[in-house]
Structure 1
Amino acid sequence: MFHVIAPTTALAPYVNGYWFVQDLEGVYEGTPIVTCPYPGAVLSVNFGRPNEMEGGITVPGVSLLGLQTTSRRWRSWSDTYFVMAMLSCIGLARLFPGVGPDCSDQLLDLSAYMGDRKTRALSVDLSAAWTPHRIATQLDAWLLRRMSAIRPVAEIPTLAAAHASLRQGRQVQEVASLAAVSRRQLNRLFERHLGVSPKRLMDLERLQSSIQAVQSGEGDALSGYSDQAHQIRHWRRRLACTPGSYARSGPSPLAAHFGRLPADGPAFYL
């Protein structure tokens, strides 16, 4: 079962959706799963047997995967069932402030960040809910409670405005001037909350847009690149493949399913 449920309206700026993956029968057991660089974070809660990351690292029961700058390989088992709250950049900064350096390209056991008791309570509550819609309702409530309990970091409006300006095509120095900070201060702000620099984040967003275009066959896969050679180099460095080779092999079942999301939905699987 692959399923997507939208968060409550109040969480829309922070959560792109709740993605459910269930394979209790083991149809995809042992199948390599590849995720792509993702300019956002993923809060995952496992209800069944957790997947294993390449290298033999078992996914924690409740984990936070920060911004990914390269593709990753995972292996699925039978009894797999988990939900992923797909967090936006601002969602990561608002819900887990200052954690960027600890989770960028890292799978953070959330108990190390929040404590065993709180993490276990979240896991138990969601496991008891079990069905996707009930889990989504519980996640909405938990995330809203967390937002109420955490005082908003004063830097978040600056981070959000700078991110929006970067997405409009402005250069980093211009964005820093608009934010009335130095370029070094802007870099520190992004590194503190997202774990990457503004330039690295926009590289990831450009690649994300290119992957979505190749997966869907719609849009311009070269958008933001100076030419095709530039795009190919970027794909090889981040994905270890080229757009052409990926298009010929086709997306995985996970990518094909989640690729049917609305046009602004992220690409996470290859």
Structure 2
Amino acid sequence: MPFSDLDYRVAQPPPALAELVESYWLLLNHSDSEQRVTLVPDGRPDVLFSDSATEPYHVALVGLDSQPSTQIIPPKCRMLAVSWKLLAVEYILPIRIADLLHTGRYLPADYLGITAEDFSDFDGFCAKISAQIMHLLPLELDARKRKLFNLLYASNGALAVEELATAAAWSSRQINRYFQQMFGLPLKAYSNILRFRASFQHLKAGKLFPEQNFADQAHFIREVKKYAGVVPKELARNQDDRFIQFAALPPPIVLC
């Protein structure tokens, strides 16, 4: 599947939503054929707005993954999406995602006011959905949870559960119960996914050794194989662009 058949754009949310929204993105399949891709865990629940030559417009909430999966992008598919940070699950999304591990659920077609007409204007979609999310923001977010998630994302999952608990003034037992009830997996498992995702840029730059606090090379290889189904060298090669999240990364910056 040549990535040239797909058009992919990504945009960052406004600063006021940075604790809740990871990114907005657009995916278009220009081909008359379906495209088979491999998705790997990236630690982001998504709301997808899409239609295609074979499917009418619909909206779906997709939960977290902890293993790779093969997905089909239909012919002439148009997809707009919001990738969320976990704090949004409690404060913005209409349902918890604990029951959506490795799966998803349809949402009302008018969710967040997005329609099929928004496919033609990605910048307009970003502005429109940002305004809708701002309208849903509560007056105050739990300070412990804000601290926890800010540290979790800033460290790319490298901090131990005990360190996060101490910094957030929240017991590790309570945190793990919260993660299981809200997201469907323990904090340690989620941290491992973030650490795996953070290795993408290093792999794309051709660095096949761990740079994200893995114990050693063998540990790094095991973790990549667990989440991608292949060893680091094969993920870095990304033959036929089948790992779409990896193919969509910007090229690494080369410092002179």
Bucket of the pairwise TM-score, normalised by the shorter protein: 0.7 to 0.9
State the partner residue of 2:4: none
Are the aligned partners of 2:19 and 2:150 in contact in 1 as well (CA < 8 Å)?
Answer: no
Among 184, 201, 211, the alignment partner of 2:190 is 201
- Partner letter of residue 196 of structure 1? L
Tell me the alpha carbon deviations over residues 146-167 of structure 1, each in whole angstroms, 9 at most, x when there is no partner: 325xx76x6x432231234455
What's the offset of the Cα at 1:261? 7.6
In structure 2, relative to structure 1, the CA distance for the partners of 1:165 and 1:11 (3 Å cut) is closer
1:46: Cα distance to partner? 0.7
Q: Helix, strand or coil for the counterpart of 1:185?
A: helix
Given residue 194 of structure 1, which amino acid in structure 2 is its aligned partner?
A: F
For 1:255 and 1:31, locate their aligned partners in 2 and report how far apart those are by CA, in whole Å.
14
Report the AA paired with residue 127 of structure 1.
A
Change (3 A) 1:159 1:50: farther
1:63 maps to 60
Q: Judging changes above 3 Å, is the alpha-carbon distance between structure 1 residues 189 and 30 closer, same or farther for their aligned structure 2 residues?
A: same
Q: Equivalent of 2:137, from 138, 147, 156?
A: 147
- Aligned with 1:158 (options 131, 140, 144): 144
Given that 1:215 and 1:251 are in contact with CA atoms closer than 8 Å, whether structure 2 keeps it comes out as: no
TM-score under structure 1 length normalisation:
0.76
Is 1:95 the counterpart of 2:101? The answer is no
Per-residue CA distance 1:175-233 (angstroms, 9 max, x = gap): 33444443221111222333221111111111111233212436964421111111111
* Corresponding residue for residue 23 of structure 1: 29
Structure 1 residues 179 and 97, CA, compared in 2 at 3 Å: closer, same or farther? Answer: farther
Q: How does 1:119-268 map to 2 (within 5 A)?
A: 119-122=108-111, 125-131=114-120, 132-147=122-137, 156-166=142-152, 168=155, 169-217=158-206, 221-250=210-239, 252=241, 254-255=244-245, 258-260=248-250
Count of residue correspondences: 242
1:4 match: secondary structure: strand
Task: Indicate how the Cα distance of structure 1 residues 98 and 129 shifts in structure 2: closer, same or farther if over 3 A, else same.
Answer: closer
Aligned-pair distance for 1:255?
Answer: 4.1
The answer on whether the counterparts of 1:45 and 1:123 sit within 8 Å (CA) in structure 2 is no
Amino acid at match of 2:104: L
Partner of 2:80: 83
In angstroms, what is the RMSD of aligned CA positions?
A: 3.0
What are the ranges of 5 or more consecutive residues in structure 2 without an aligned counterpart?
A: 1-6
The answer to whether 1:37 aligns with 2:37 is no
